[in-house]
Amino acid sequence: MITKSEDLAALCERLAKSDFVAVDTEFMRENTYWPELCLVQIADTQEAAAIDPLAPDLDLQPLWDLLTGNEDVLKVFHAGGQDVEIIYNFTNRTPHPIFDTQIAQMAISQSEQIGYSNLVESWLGLTIDKGARFTDWSRRPLTERQIEYAIGDVTHLAKIFPRMLKRLIKTDRGEWLDQEMEKLADPENYRNDPTIAWKRIKAAGRNAGVLGRLKALAAWREHEARGKNIPRGRIVRDETLADLASHPPKTQSDLAKVRGLSQGWKDNEIGKRLMQALAASEPLPEDELPPRAPRGAPLGKEGSLVADLLKLLLKIRAREIDVASRLLARSEELELLAAGVRKNLAMLEGWRFKTFGKDALDLVEGKLAFAVVDGRLKMTHVDDTVEPAPE
């Protein structure tokens, strides 16, 4: 357990000589806007430690330098999105280069977003003690059992990663993951810009006035939540913001009639600031409007059936090559392909096109069919199965 700056600096100096480090974090975010970092676990093949960011006067800079400034050390996470977010919040940078074992598992098995416990059991044959999983990591002192549990997350990961890497090399699928890992490390995914907060809220249509109000309200809510350091949903829920944008109140007293707001909003200060945000809103510019939904004219009413066939094709291909279907294509992409879209689909680019996208195109163009061979459903090209009609 690292609680002193000199010990952390020495640890990071040693780890900087490793090829990779496994990293995990423990945090609390139920009652705050910003996740509260409570523990950082880190390990290579030789040693492991838990770093206590709540320790008085502990200088975390050597850790941030190792994780975000050292390009020679690979940073290994499991389902690392939230861990990367926390590191970004502290540094405005993301770990790089990066490797996520949850994503990598999808390239060598049909597992969709495998959990950490299942990953450990699959690779190491160990059962994780889940007793400390719901620990309040902000309380001190931590028990030996809690520390052992936390450090186990990275010591297991440090054993799994080299084995997983060998499997990836053997199957020649390492390049499949390059784009996915770069996407995980992209700082734009974690930049908390209030002006784009509205994009996380589900809203129907492309009405510029409605979306302009939603943009203004979402930005207002971000500032309110940040200032109070409470979850944004405790200010106003998403559905209430969408309703306010679609049916804006004329006066502050009308807020008392809005579902999801209390009576007090009709004359309190936060209600006043909400009305000011609405009054200052402007219609969303054309270049910020979401793209128009593609029409299914080329396929007519049969589009949904074609999408179902594409999903069946995806299942067959994923089974044949033992890969998670989610890594090859998403359901929404298949529906777009069925509707006639041919641009800006990941499955029609690079390795995904060679592995699945080409067959998907052949299916919608009538060049691919399904057949039952030895009791198993397979896909086959029409030219291989259909004999020419007699003259």
Catalytic residues: 24, 26, 83, 149, 153
Phi, psi of 250 (to 5 degrees): -80, -35
The sign of the CA dihedral 218, 219, 223, 229 is: positive
Classify residue 76 by its DSSP letter. E
CA 232 from centroid of its chain's CA atoms: 19
On whether the CB atoms of residues 238 and 201 are closer than 8 A, the answer is yes
On whether the CB atoms of residues 98 and 46 are closer than 8 A, the answer is no
* b/e per residue 44-72 (b: at least 16 CB within 10 A): beeebbbbbbeeeebebebbbebbbebee
Q: For residue 191, give Cα distances in angstroms to 44, 91, 122, 217.
A: 29, 11, 35, 19
Total count of residues recorded for the chain: 391
Q: Own/partner pairs for 121-128, CB < 8 Å, 24+ apart?
A: 123/159, 123/160, 123/163, 123/164, 124/156, 124/159, 124/160, 126/156, 128/152, 128/156
